[in-house]
Amino acid sequence: MVEQRIPFFRPTIEDDDIEAVAGALRSGWLTTAGNARAFEAELAEHCGAPFVAVMNSATAALHLALEAWGIGPGDEVITTPYTFCATANVVLHTGADVVFADVRERDFNIDPERIAAAITPRTKAIIPVHFAGEPCAMDEILALARPRGIMVLEDAAHAIGALYRGRTIGSIADATAFSFYATKNMTTGEGGALASFDEQFSERVRKLTLHGMSRDALRRYEAGGSWRYDVEEIGFKDNLTDTAAALGRSQLRKLGQLQDGRTSAVERYFANLRDEERLILPSVDEENRSAWHLFVVRVREGAGVGRDEVIRRMTEAGIGTSVHFIPVHTFSAYQRLGRWKIGDFPVAERLFAGAISLPLFPSMTAAEVDDVCDVLRAALRA
């Protein structure tokens, strides 16, 4: 094993985060309670949507949004093949069909023209994924969805804090899912949230996180609360613990600082790699503000070396990397459904063939970025 000099990701957990969790542990409330409710209010304030429900993952947020809209067998949901498997898995869990629409070469994001071609009378929802934190073409997507009564659910697992044409991600579509997984832009270890503009929908989603019970555990156990409750629908067990919520509140307070760290590293990458003709660097849309969850470069076809070999050389030199994403339709479980062939989404497949996610995290120093760039340049030539 080579010693890893620079990891792909290093979490930022500071003394105030640890104190926040310790405080939650000392309070005696371990499961969903006051910290979870306060975290919801603070997220709503941050993302500009009036109603937020927190839960144990973005996967749950995506799933429960579809459930609460009553999407199921016979329905179709359009999304991108260039995403984490969760985005498509949850559609299949509802019993609906997933319909993939290919991405744009420019920014790896779902192509509105491909969405338009994929819409049928059975289409009930569209799930755009803001890849690497760069917002999708939301105006074009909403223009397709609104007149047809199709719901738009943003997968913003990468995009908390991003701006689309000056608007905060979370304040744009019918509902928006955020992830607080360990490597995301802010973390609760595992966690997620669903932002929306519909109070009844948000309440139903929150109820579905706790078995569909009529009142939550806090009210059941607090002084004067009643033991009696109803199960109003068959729900799930997707609630967020109060210890996790306490960490989320602490992380949200420093999100700006975490984002500044990411942005500085990204600026250094651009300055350093600008003249590297064997690479295609991420595109920047000046009208948006990316959350820079990932810095994904592409090894050019004809560079004389392939992506896998570049990664092998970087690993050998002690630099962590990753690949986002293996197109979902190429996985064996999806191939076994017999609905997609390799080659069906040529842009996604071509982007994947060259993609490397370079190390990116808030505490990354300029020297570390330079080190990664030196190793990368050498790996492209060796």
Residues near ligand PLP (CB under 6 A) are 57-59, 83-84, 86-87, 129, 155, 157-158, 179, 181, 192
What amino acid occupies position 127? I
Q: Please, which residue, 317 or 351, has the CB nearer to ligand PLP?
A: 351
Active site members: 184
Q: Please, which residue, 188 or 196, has the CB nearer to ligand PLP?
A: 188
Record the tokens describing residue 212, joined without a space.
């569909």
Q: Please, which residue, 155 or 368, has the CB nearer to ligand PLP?
A: 155
Smallest gap from residue 52 Cβ to ligand PLP (A): 15
Q: Please, which residue, 318 or 320, has the CB nearer to ligand PLP?
A: 320
For the chain, how are helix, strand and coil distributed in percent, rounded to 5? 40, 15, 45
Record the tokens describing residue 169, joined without a space.
């991600």
Q: How far is CA 326 from CA 31, 181, 336, 356, in A?
A: 35, 19, 16, 11
Q: What distance in Å separates the CA atoms of residue 162 and residue 168, rounded to the nearest whole number?
A: 6
**Pairing assessment for the beta strands 167-168 and 163-164 based on DSSP bridges:** antiparallel
Determine contact, residues 36/66, Cβ cutoff 8 Å. Answer: no
Neighbours of 288 (CB within 10 A): 22
Determine contact, residues 329/100, Cβ cutoff 8 Å. Answer: yes
Q: Which region, left, alpha or beta, applies to residue 132 given φ > 0 means left and ψ of -120 to 50 means alpha?
A: left
Q: Please, which residue, 111 or 368, has the CB nearer to ligand PLP?
A: 111
Neighbours of 102 (CB within 10 A): 23
Angle, helices 307-316 vs 366-381, to 10°: value is 130
Smallest gap from residue 157 Cβ to ligand PLP (A): 3
Range list of H helices, the chain: 15-27, 34-47, 58-68, 85-94, 112-118, 138-145, 199-208, 217-221, 242-253, 255-273, 307-316, 332-335, 346-354, 366-381
Q: Please, which residue, 129 or 299, has the CB nearer to ligand PLP?
A: 129
